[in-house]
Amino acid sequence: MRNLINRLTNWFSRKSTPDAVRGMSTQPSFIDAYRQVRSPSSSELLGELKGTAYACVNLNASTCATYPPRLYQKVDGRVEEVSEHPLLTLLRSVNPTHNAHDLWELTTLYQEVQGSAYWYLEMNESELPSAIWILPTQHVHPVRESGSTNLVDYYQVQTGTEVQRLHPREVIHFCYPNPRDPYGPGLSPLHAAFEHVALSSEYLAYKRSLWNNNALPSVILSPDEIISEEERERLEALWMQRFSRGGNGRVLVAESSMSVDLVHQSLGDLATLAEAGATKEEIANAFGVPMSYLTTQTNLANLQAAEHQYASKTIHPRLKRRDEKINEKLIPLYDASGSLFVASDDPTPRNQEHQLRQQELDLKWGVRTIDEVRAERGLPPLKRE
C-alpha cells in the first residue's frame, strides 16, 4: 500500500514548469474589434444561457451524456472490456445527489458555457475516490502563487461567504482548448459567440420593451383650432371608447375640422442588424450544431447528413477529450501500470453500422463467442444445460 501511495504521489506531483509557460499573459481581452467591450465574466456567460445558445448547449451536453465511457484492460496484447471494477462503481453512484448521467451532462454543459469543468474527488481512507462532486465553474479559480514553479498551486472555491482551497490532486480540470492561454481555463463556444448571443438578447429585449411600454402613440389628432384641455380630454376619451378593444373599423363623425395621422412603428433597421450579426446560424456554428437541428424547414436527407456531421465533427471530439482527461487523472489512482483505460463508443452512425456488421462476422466465423459479446454489454453469460 505504501508503494502504491508513493507512486500516486509521484504521479500527481507538479514538476517545475518553464518560465515561458509560467509567464503567460493575464491581461484582460476584448470581444469587439474596437477594444471597448471586455470579455464576459462567468456570471455574464450564464446570463446569456437562453434562446439558441441554450438549445445548442443542452443538445451537446445531453448527447455526450448518452455515451458514457467504458472501462477496458490490456491483457497479453488483447483488449478486454471490464464489467466490474471499483471505478465503474464510483462512476455509477457518483455522489448522493447526482447519478452518472448528471455527471456526464454537467461536465459537458459547464465546458460549453464556461470552457472548463471541475471534478472534486472526495477520498476515503484508502486514498481512493469515494465520491465525485461537480463544482460550479463560475465559483472556481485556479491560483498560482507569486514565484511558484507550479502552474496551479490550489483551486479556490467560493462557497457562499467562505473560500475553500483544494489541492490540485483533489481536482480534475476538464477544459476546451484556449489559444490565448493553453495552460489555463478553456475557451467556451458561448464565449466565442458572445457578441452574436448578446446582440440577439438585446434585440429581443428591445422588442419586448416596446410591447410592454409603448412610448409611441398609434394616432395623432390635430384640431385646426386651439381647444381647451377639457375638450381635448373629452375627444381623447371618445376616440378610445369607439376604437379600442375591437373597435377597429368603426366610423367616427368629427364635430369639427381636424387631421388624423397614423403612426407606424418600424423595426426594419434593428431587424437587419439582428439578421446580419446575431442569427441562429452564427451561434450554432460556434457550438458545432447543424442548422437542420434548429429548424423545422428541413427534410429527412438533410437530417441524416446532419446527424453524421454532428456525431463525427462535434460529439466524437468532445467524448475523446473527456476520456483522455479521465485516463490522465483518474485511472492512475486505480492502476499505475497503464493497462486500464476508458473509451466511449464512436457515435458516428456509419461506424456503428460497421461495428455491428463486424460483430456479426466475428460471431459467424468463431472469432468471438456470444458470451464475449454479452460481457461487453454488461450481460451475464448464457445459461447452458
Give the other-Cβ count within 10 Å of 300's Cβ: 7
Non-local (6+) Cβ contacts of 350 within 8 A are: 308
Q: Which amino acid does the sequence have at 196?
A: H
Per the document, the length of the chain is: 385
Bridge partners of residue 171, in order along the sequence: 120
Q: What is the pLDDT of residue 14?
A: 47
Distances (CA, A) of 163 to 27, 167, 171, 353: 24, 13, 16, 50
Q: With 0-12 CB in 10 A as exposed, 13-18 as middle and 19+ as buried, what is 153?
A: middle
Task: Please tell me the distance from the alpha carbon of residue 250 to that of residue 190, in angstroms, as a whole number.
Answer: 51
For 97, half-sphere exposure in the C-beta direction (CA atoms, 13 angstrom radius) is: 6
Q: Is the pTM of this model over 0.85?
A: no
For residue 276, the model assigns a pLDDT of 43
User: CB under 8 Å to 161, separation ≥6 — which residues?
Assistant: none
Q: Residue 160 and residue 208: Cα distance in Å, rounded?
A: 34
Q: What is the pLDDT of residue 356?
A: 78
The span from the CA of 14 to the CA of 296, in Å, is: 51
DSSP state at residue 252: -
- Helix (H) / strand (E) element for 57: namely helix 51-65
Measured between alpha carbons, how far apart are the two ends of the chain, in Å?
A: 44
Residues 6+ apart with CB under 8 A from 352: 345, 346
**Strand, helix or coil at 275?**
helix
User: Strand ranges (DSSP E) for the chain?
Assistant: 70-75, 78-81, 116-123, 129-135, 140-143, 154-159, 162-166, 171-175, 219-223, 258-262, 340-343
Task: Give the pLDDT of the chain (385 residues) as one tens digit per residue.
Answer: 545 555 555 544 445 677 777 655 555 677 777 777 788 999 999 999 998 999 999 999 999 999 999 999 998 888 999 999 999 999 999 999 999 999 999 999 999 999 999 999 999 998 999 999 999 999 999 999 988 889 999 999 998 889 999 999 999 999 999 998 898 899 999 999 998 888 878 777 777 776 776 656 677 888 888 888 898 888 888 888 887 767 677 777 777 788 887 766 555 555 555 554 447 888 999 999 999 998 888 888 888 889 999 999 999 999 999 999 999 999 999 998 889 999 999 998 766 667 778 888 888 888 888 888 887 776 788 876 6
Rounded Cα distance between 345 and 135, Å, is 26
Q: How many CB atoms neighbour CB 304 within 10 A? A: 12
123: three-class secondary structure by DSSP: strand
Q: How far apart are CA 178 and CA 39, in angstroms?
A: 14
CA dist., res. 130 & res. 143, Å (int)? 26
Nearest alpha-carbon partner for 117 in 45, 171, 189: 171
pLDDT of residue 372: 83
